[in-house]
Amino acid sequence: MLPESLKRISVDCRRDGARDRIKRQGADPGSLVHSWFGPAMLHGKRGHEFVVILTTRGCQHYYSDDLGCTMCGYNNDSAGETVPGDIIAGQFSAALAKHEKEIAGAGNVVAKVFNSGSFFDEKEIPAGVQEQVLASLASLPTVQEVAVESRPEFISQESLCRFKAKLREDQLGEVGIGLETWNDEIRLDFINKGFTRDQFMHVHEILKEHNVGTKVYLLLKPLFLDELAALIDARESMKHLLSLGVSTISINPAAIHANTVMERFWERGKYRPPWLWTAMLLLHEAFTLPARDMNTLVLCDPVAGGKPRGAHNCRDMACNQRALAIIKDAIEQQATVGGLDPRPVAGGAACACHLEWLDEMHF
C-alpha cells in the first residue's frame, strides 16, 4: 500500500491522465485498435506474432482506491469509461481483417490479445466477447498459441473453463500475470501491485489444473531500488520462477510511462531506467542457470530501448544498438551468446560507459 505522500502523487497522475486521454468511444472500431504482425519466438520454435491491443475501459486496479501501479501508464491509452461489447468485438474483427493474409501465410503464429487491463475482467471485456475472440482465433489453423493477460483476481475456474472451451485441443493457451518480483514487500510497497505472491501461486495452480501456461512479467528496476539491488531482486525472482516451471518469463526493463509515479521521480532526477548492461547480465544468468527448465521461454524486448525513457547505456546510439542486437540474438537463440555477459568485456571492446556501469554495480 502506498504511503500518503505517494498517494497524492498517484492522484495527480490519474488526474493528468484523464485530462490527456483521448475520448474514443463511438468512433469507428478500426481506429480504436492497435495491431501488428511480425517475427516472434513461440515455445520451442520460431514463428510470428499477431498482436492486438483493444481499447477498453482499462485496468480496475488503476481506477480503484489503490490507484494502480507506480510504473504503469497503459491506462493513458484506455477509454476511461465502459466500452460496449459490440465495439470491442468490432475492434478485434478490424485487426483480424487487417492481418488475415499474413496469418494465413505464416507457419507458426502466436496470437496475443492485450487490453491494458485484464482479459477476464467482464467489466472490461464481456464474457460473450471473450468467447467470440477466442473462437475466431481457434478457427485459424496457423494460430498455434493464444496468449492473454489478467490480474489474479479475475482468474478463476469459470474464466479458465470458458478460455479452454473455445480453443482447439492443439492450441497452447497462456495467461500473462504481472507478478513483477518474487518479493512481496517490493511488489506491494514499491510497485503497489495490490496482490501477494500467495495469490499468484493460487492462480498458477488453477492454470496448471486447466493445462494453461503461466506467463510471468518480471520488472527490472522498480522504483526505490538502485541498479545492483534491482539486479539481485530480478535474479532471485528469475530463479524461483524457473524452478516453478512457468511457461514464459518476460523480463521487462522499466520504462518511463507518462502520468506515472515513476515519471515524477524520473523528471526530478531521482530515478534512472536500468542499464542495458544489467538486462544483458540478467539474461546471461537466466540462460546459464544449471537448473534451468528448458521448457520455459525467456523473453526480453526493452520498451523504448536505447532511449532516455527506456533501458539504455550512454548517449552513444551505437553502444545502445549493439546491446539491443545482442539481447535480440540471445532471445532468438534461447541461449547465451557472445557479448551477452558484460562483465568480462574490456579495453576497446566496450564503450566507456561500461566502466561507469561496473563502478555502479560494485563488481
Task: Give ∠ CA 125-130-131 in degrees, rounded to 5.
Answer: 155
Residue 271 has pLDDT above 90, yes or no: yes
How much is the pLDDT for 348?
Answer: 53
Residue 27 has pLDDT above 80, yes or no: no
Predicted confidence band at 3 (pLDDT cuts at 50, 70, 90)? confident
Q: Of 117, 255, 234, 257, give the one whose Cα is nearest residue 176.
A: 117
Residue 346 has pLDDT above 70, yes or no: no
CATH number at residue 109: 3.20.20.70
**Total number of domains constituting the chain:** 1
Residue type, 171: Q
Q: What is the dihedral of CA 173, 179, 182, 184, to 10 degrees?
A: -140
pLDDT tens digit string along 301-342? Answer: 999 999 999 999 999 999 999 999 999 999 999 999 999 999
Q: Across all residues in the chain, what is the average pLDDT? A: 94
Buried b (16+ CB within 10 A) or exposed e, 243-257: ebebbbbbbbbbbbb
* Block residue for cell numbers 514463428: 47
Mean pLDDT for the stretch of residues 223-241: 97
Domain that includes residue 112, residue range: 4-361
Contact by Cβ (8 Å): 50, 108 = no
How much is the pLDDT for 2?
Answer: 83
| Cα–Cα distance for residue pair 215/89, rounded to 1 Å | 25
Cα distances from 50 to residues 103, 144, 288, in angstroms, run 7, 11, 30
pTM of the predicted model as reported, rounded to 2 decimal places: 0.95
How much is the pLDDT for 25?
Answer: 46
Which residues have a Cβ under 8 Å from the Cβ of 229 and sit 6 or more positions away?
Answer: none
- Give the range with max mean pLDDT: 44-53, 287-296, 347-356: 44-53
Contact by Cβ (8 Å): 118, 176 = no
**Half-sphere exposure (Cβ direction) of 200: Cα atoms closer than 13 Å:** 24
Residue 163 has pLDDT above 70, yes or no: yes
How much is the pLDDT for 28?
Answer: 65
